[in-house]
Amino acid sequence: MNITGFGKALQIKGPTLYRWYKDVLSDYARDKTMMHKNDITHPEKGKEIGVPILKPENVGAKMCLDEKHIGDEIYTIMSNRQTGKIAMICKSINYSEIKQVFEKLQPALNQIQSITRDFSPLFEKVCSVLIPQTMQVGDKFHVIKNLMEAHQSVRIRYRQKELEKRRKALQEFKALELARLKECERTGKTFKPDKFHYQEEKLENGETLLEILARSRYLLYKFRYQWTERQQKRALALFRKYPEIEKTYSLCNDFRILMGNKNIGQHYLHIDKQLHQWYEDVELSEIDELQNFKALVESNEQIIRNYFISGETNSIAEAINSKIQRLIASNYGTRDPDFFFFRLSQFYA
């Protein structure tokens, strides 16, 4: 809860209550250096790397690895998927520094059986080298996120083309106005500037191309059966004008169905057959954005396939990130980082 809001309920000034809470009511006042006891030193640069939370007892069989912006810094966070507790927060995205922190977590790391992560090369190296016995699982959230970003990129590409047409029309108008101004100056006539009017094509649902490309963002995230009546009309007009967007939409939905719960526990040959059929469909479509996503999937195919064994995801890590964000918001940021991480450790570690 926001401390200032809580103070208003008690008729106490927010800063006063905050100071009481920090210096008297909480355990933080007993040892203000406790938040730095696990800090490490960079092996070459000699700088101090903050490790505000390090709890080997929170390491379990199923863990997740993620990163999070806190203030102006990026932190690496490892949490327990079974308990939801944070095992490590390190103010670093550097392998050599994370390696030092992991050494402090031994021998607890030996009990990790599976770890979910995104497709960061850093996390791949951390998992492969520092916990090689662990099965790595490509997080479904990040897979679908990259898929939908590729999908939206196609829509944005067409919108940028329409904006480019408008820009060129404006440039032509300005050139004509300048020529007309010079002609008026030469002949001594009074120059009356015209207003720029750009005549846009309108589709059957009454929207212009720029409008429909902007307003179609959210309907592309949904399956067809989830569309409202208005969205159905908008999608029909959009797909008639831009068949490539419709093709992209169909291929994205095929992949989302492939990643659905029905395929969890299926034999890996069954998954491979569907996955490689999707690869072929993408190749035939010749859509660059999907080709790029396909390359990402191919390079991480093994850890993505591991998802179908038991459907493990990074949802706990994303939930913790959301909780951290709410804590940041309720504290108006992280102006007092040590006390912030103390509270974070009390709530989530």
CATH number of the domain encompassing residue 104: 3.30.420.10
- Residue 277: which residues within 8 A CB-CB, separation 6 or more? none
Predicted TM-score (pTM) of the model is: 0.83
Spatial contact of 130 and 109, defined as CB atoms under 8 Å apart:
yes
- In this predicted structure, the answer to whether residue 45 has a pLDDT above a threshold of 80 is no
Strand ranges (DSSP E) for the chain?
Answer: 40-41, 48-49, 53-54, 62-70, 73-80, 86-90, 114-117, 135-138
Give the chain's largest Cα–Cα span.
Answer: 90
Mean residue pLDDT of the chain comes to 89
Q: Does 258 score more than 70 pLDDT?
A: yes
Q: Is 93 exposed, middle or buried (0-12, 13-18, 19+ CB in 10 A)?
A: middle
Same domain, 60 and 91: yes
Matching residue, tokens 């009481």 = 20
pLDDT, tens digit (0-9, with 9 covering 90-100), for 129-181: 999 999 999 888 889 999 999 999 999 999 999 999 999 999 999 999 999 88
Handedness of CA 242, 246, 251, 257 (dihedral sign): positive
Supply the angle between the helices 268-285 and 301-310 in degrees, to the nearest 10.
130
Amino acid at 190: T
Q: What is the pLDDT of residues 276-318, one digit of tens each?
A: 999 999 999 999 999 999 999 999 999 999 999 988 887 777 7
**Same domain assignment for residues 152 and 279:** yes
Do residues 110 and 228 both lie within one domain?
Answer: no
Residues 97 and 195 in one domain: no
* pLDDT above 70: residue 43: no
Same domain flag for 154 and 300: yes
What is the total count of domains within the chain? Answer: 3
317 & 276 share domain: no
Mean pLDDT within 227-248: 94
Residues 194 and 278 grouped into a single domain = yes
304/200 same-domain check: yes
- DSSP notation for 126-150: IIIIISTTSEEEE-HHHHHHHHHHH
- Full residue range of the structural domain in which residue 152 is found: 147-309
Distance in angstroms (rounded) separating the CA atoms of residues 263 and 307: 10
- Could you tell me if 103 and 233 lie in one domain? no
Instruction: With H, G, I as helix, E, B as strand and everything else as coil, classify residue 214.
Output: helix
Q: Do residues 159 and 259 both lie within one domain?
A: yes
Residues 73 and 128 in one domain: yes
Same domain, 186 and 284: yes
pLDDT tens, residue by residue, 327-345 = 877 766 677 888 888 888 8
More confident call, 51 vs 317: 51
